[in-house]
A = this chain, B = another copy of it.
Amino acid sequence: MFETDPRLSALPTPALVLDELRMRRNIQRLADHITGKGATLRPHLKTVKSIDIAKLLLTEGAGPAVVSTLAEAEVFAGEGIRDITYAVGISPQKLDRVAAIRAGGCDLSVILDSIEQAETVNEASRRHGQAIPALIEFDCDGHRGGVGPTDPVLVEIGRTLHEGKAELRGVLTHAGESYSAVGRDAHVAFAAQECKAAVAAVKNLRTAGLPCPVVSIGSTPTAHAVENLDGVTEVRAGVYVFFDLVQAGIGVCELEDIALSVLTTVIGHQREKGWILIDAGWMALSQDRGTAQQEVDQRYGVVCDDAGNVLPDLIVIKANQEHGIVAVRSGRSTPLPDIPLGTRLRILPNHACATAAQFNHYNVITPEPDAPLKMWRRFGGW
């Protein structure tokens, strides 16, 4: 009844499956969109946490890249990546590790949004005898951290760095709220708002006589929609490498672009309830319910056959630790297909970052139809 991929048949389930062809297309798509707009693409490696994928992403080899943990910075610096931004507000305790990574030859920069943090970076720069570069995080949409782009505090932080032992590297923002904007027009407008805030932040610093060599923006929706990058020097994005149901739900990609899925096996039925039990629960799928607030709630994921073809209206409606329950989407009259015990299925994830984090390696389907699976290691930790 369903298509199968014989290369997957020997994998114990649940297992993380990566479609390399789809991934390469996704990588190329954003590279093509940014190229020629006068800015650099700085891929966020928090999604992939894989040396193999980082090498595909960073065609120049040495960067630039952005990370979400110092563990990522250490691993990727160890692999020769020479330009990394650690894009989580720096805490004083982490600065010795930052200095050690820099001492190993990687130009690791940090971000911050307070004078207090700037002072700790100055202090660490003095203590380690090297100017640690810092970007000031500004806020373009009320999402999380950052100072207002026209706030005088931005200048005070900049001056603290510039007149201290640290290096004022520039400004950075993340349009995290763009994940709630639906459709290309909304993303174009959001990207314009992000760029406008960036230009205002730069002006704020430059008017005060401070340098601002780097102007960094980014989120997957705005990166794919941005039309004009005047005044911006770099764009960051991460989840675009794999894509997921959240991105499909807001129109950044199609279901057929999603490169990541969880291979699972049917382990039982509760036929009178219309349930098919699978061996992928939240331990495999993650508990990310990023589509819960979208127009179409995909619950714990969209069900595909073993070859990756979407099965109409079948989703994982519930997830326990090691059990998932597959059923027809609420409100649809599609009959539940007869899927026998032992059948392999693949589940598309709500959020690629969260689902990938539940596994320690990717099982990679190569573009060549007869080539064996590749196994790429994933790391975690902080």
Binary flags per residue of A264-288, CB closer than 8 Å to B gives 1, else 0: 0111111000000101001110111
B91, B325, B340, B342: which contacts A279 (Cβ < 8 A)?
B91
- The segment from A20-28, A127-135, A202-210, A315-323 that touches chain B is A315-323
Is A354 interfacial (CB-CB < 8 Å)? yes
Residues on B with C-beta less than 8 A from A46 are 321-322
The quantity of this chain's copies bound in the complex is: 2
If A12-B70, A144-B323, A145-B323 touch, whether A341 touches B279 (CB-CB below 8 Å) is: no
Give which listed residue, B113, B269, B340, B358, contacts A268 with CB less than 8 A. Answer: B113
Q: For the complex, what is the distance from the CA of A321 to the CA of B269, rounded to whole Å?
A: 35
Interface majority SS on A: helix, strand, loop or mixed? loop
Closest residue of chain B to A273 (Cβ to Cβ) is B142
Pick the interface stretch among A92-100, A101-109, A248-256: A92-100
Q: Which chain B residue shows the least CB distance to A381?
A: B360
Chain A to chain B contacts (Cβ below 8 Å), 13 pairs: A88-B322, A89-B279, A91-B267, A117-B268, A120-B342, A144-B270, A144-B320, A145-B268, A176-B320, A286-B287, A287-B289, A287-B354, A357-B358
Q: Give residues in A with beta carbon < 8 Å to B.
A: 12-15, 46, 68-70, 88-94, 97, 112-114, 116-117, 120, 144-145, 176, 265-270, 277, 279, 282-284, 286-289, 320-323, 325, 340-342, 353-354, 357-360, 380-382
